[in-house]
Amino acid sequence: MYLSYWIQHLQKSNVQLDDNDQGHRFLQEHLLHWLETLGWMKKVSEGIHAIVSLESTTALYRCPQLPRFVYDMKRFILYSRSAIEQAPLQTYCSTLVFAPEGSMVKRQFRDCACRWLRRLPKMNHDWNALLQTLEGHSGLVYAVAFAPDGKTLVSASYDRTVKLWDAGSGVLQQTLDIGNTIYALTFFDDSTSLRAVLGSLPILSPLSSGIGVTSLQYPSSIFINDLWISSHTERVIWLPPEYRPRFIAVYECIVAFGYTSGRVMTMKLTL
């Protein structure tokens, strides 16, 4: 069975999912093996989409433990994606070390962590609102924007490139070498180009074909106000100095931050 599709086969088999069933036990025993293999195959992004699909399926069943484990799997792989992609064997090291103390995946596979690590850093107990950090720009980020369907995130940097990311998995889909700095971006109505200060930028057709874009506007419900993320008139999250962005973009309850370091960070809020 092709590694990226076993979850689809499970969903289409009409098997009743339940706590501690065969699928649940498989994940508890072989999740890290699966993630490592996806890393070697360069298929981590497909694994992320498969887990998100499985999460939607498990939500339909009255089994409390399996949906919680699948949700934790999703947070674990989103947080650890870069490490798994760059060095798949870090699936058994860095990913477990830096996961929250209360992570079900971390607790399940604690004994798989590198034994030469005698003293581990103390991490937060639970996952926070940070979904993932996107790295690739070598200069500060001047602009970030979501496609209206929320599936694509675009960022423009002082390094004179524009990058398009899969907002769900964090995978870099395309880099446009502009040769100049872009300070603002949006999409044309035909979804084949980006509107920029310097003019239009073409997008490869395979990427744009899945984006039904009209225009980009920030919803007024979520915004950065002084040192806070605010919802309507209520301050909800204070931003420490290292997390204060230069630019933001909002799609529904997901906020993207662009930083002077060149990083792009996404955070999901439940308000």
Give ∠ CA 74-79-81 in degrees, rounded to 5.
Answer: 90
Alpha carbon 265 to chain centroid, angstroms: 9
Residue 149's CB is within 10 A of a number of other CB atoms, namely 13
User: For residue 79, which of 130, 27, 144 has the smallest C-alpha distance?
Assistant: 130
Q: Phi then psi for 39, rounded to 5 degrees?
A: -65, -45
For residue 23, give the 3-state DSSP assignment. helix
Cα–Cα distance for residue pair 15/4, rounded to 1 Å: 19
One digit per residue, pLDDT tens: the chain, 271 residues?
445 567 777 767 777 777 888 888 888 999 999 999 999 999 998 899 889 888 888 888 788 898 899 999 999 999 888 889 888 988 988 888 888 999 999 999 988 876 656 666 678 899 988 888 888 898 888 888 888 778 888 899 889 899 999 988 888 999 988 877 888 887 766 556 677 755 545 565 544 433 222 233 334 467 666 667 777 777 777 776 667 777 788 887 788 888 878 888 887 776 6
> What global pTM score does this model have?
0.68
Expressed in percent and rounded to 5, the helix, strand and coil fractions of the chain are 35, 25, 40
